[in-house]
Structure 1
Amino acid sequence: MTAQTHSAQPVTDTPVTPVDPAAIKAARDRAVALPEGQRLTMTEAARKHLERTFADDPTALGLRLGIKKSGCSGFAYVMDVARDVADDDLWFDCDGIPIITDPQSLDAIRGSELDYVVDGLTRMLHVNNPNVEDSCGCGESFTVRETD
């Protein structure tokens, strides 16, 4: 009996649509233009987690991080796989894993650090956001400080 080997190919229902390199460059330039303390960053734990998460997804550009109105405190984080870059997006390079966000969300998450937290059986991406003024008891929503 002869051993057979098979190479695994990523399976995706989403067609791979090339992203315009000029759009990526413009998004990177917008992010780099911010003062260092206002840029989005991630810990090594978050970077490794996202690297594993995106490894078999050829359509993944990085992590899209945003906010939406939600809950009792006002806003909640929204995280998804980034598959495109909008005309006004910002692209933060974090050691090979981009965080992509829109300018409206950036106002509330400016200077945040993304972390991957393991606490017992709980594993999650957590946003360490210096702009948070208050959060609800369940931790699902937050309010941000007013900026001048």
Structure 2
Amino acid sequence: MLPAPPAAPIRPVADPAGFCISSLARIRALGLSSQQALGNHSRRAVVITLTDKASDKVSELIEAENEEGLSLRVAVRPGGCSGFSYEMYFDTDVADSDTTATFGAVQVVVDPSSAMLLEGATLDYSDSLQSAGFSIDNPNAQRTCGCGQSFS
């Protein structure tokens, strides 16, 4: 059973180019260094890694919020056309049961239920002529929907 969303207001991650999370199951090698892959972590092993581009963009978005102590929470919730969908938002609360990892200036937080579905995933950011936004490469996703925002 997945935990209920936090009672505090959720700040969705957004950027001027438009927020997009899509699964990139076809991309397996993102060229991460061992430091990037491991991150500076606490509370169990790293669940999800951030590429340098993703870390830089999230850091920029957190800075724009102008609030101390914000972390990026990555979660998986029931929903979407394939069974599960990704959620990303800024959060100031970190539970003892959460897994955390730091990539550059960004602390990433994952709840225990989501950790099982995100283990080994990579968050990337791209800004090209065709698209701009975040994408999650999740080795646990057996299939994704056409929009790329949900998986099973």
TM-score, L = length of structure 1 = 0.68
Residues in 2 aligned to 1:122 and 1:133: alpha-carbon distance in whole angstroms: 24
More helix by share: 1
- Shifted more, 114-123 versus 40-49: the winner is 114-123
Question: How far did residue 138 of structure 1 move?
Answer: 2.1
State yes or no: 1:117 paired with 2:126.
yes
Q: Which residue of 2 aligns with 1:5?
A: none
Offset, 1:121: 5.6
**Residue 46 in structure 1 maps to residue 59 in structure 2:** no
**1:74 Cα deviation (Å)?**
0.4
1:29 and 2:42 aligned: yes
- In the aligned structure 1, how far is the partner of 2:81 from the partner of 2:47? 27
Stretches of structure 1 lacking an aligned partner (at least 5 in a row): 1-13, 15-27, 144-148
- Supply the AA of the counterpart residue of 1:94: F
Give the whole-Å Cα distance in 2 for the aligned partners of 1:70 and 1:127: 17
Contact 2:47 2:99 (C-alpha < 8 Å) held by counterparts: no
- 1:47–1:95 CA contact under 8 A, matched in 2: yes
How much is the aligned-residue C-alpha RMSD, in angstroms? 1.8
Asked whether the equivalents of residues 75 and 87 of structure 2 are also in contact (C-alpha less than 8 Å), the reply is yes
Distance 1:122 1:65 in 2: 21
Select the structure of larger CA radius of gyration: 1
- Structure number with higher relative contact order (C-alpha < 8 Å, ≥ 6 residues apart): 2
Q: Quick one: distance in 2 between partners of 1:133 and 1:141?
A: 11
Q: Does 1:73 align with 2:86?
A: no
Percent of pairs with identical residues: 31
- Per-residue CA deviations over 1:1-53 (Å, capped at 9, x if unaligned) read xxxxxxxxxxxxx9xxxxxxxxxxxxx5323xx2xxx6321111111101111
Q: TM (normalized to structure 2)?
A: 0.67
Distance (whole Å) between structure 2 residues aligned to residue 102 and residue 109 of structure 1: 10
Query: Which among 49, 73, 88 is matched to residue 97 of structure 2?
Result: 88
**Matched length:** 112
In structure 2, what is the Cα distance between the partners aligned to 1:29 and 1:51?
A: 19
In structure 1, the residue matched to 2:63 is 55
Equivalence for 1:20: none
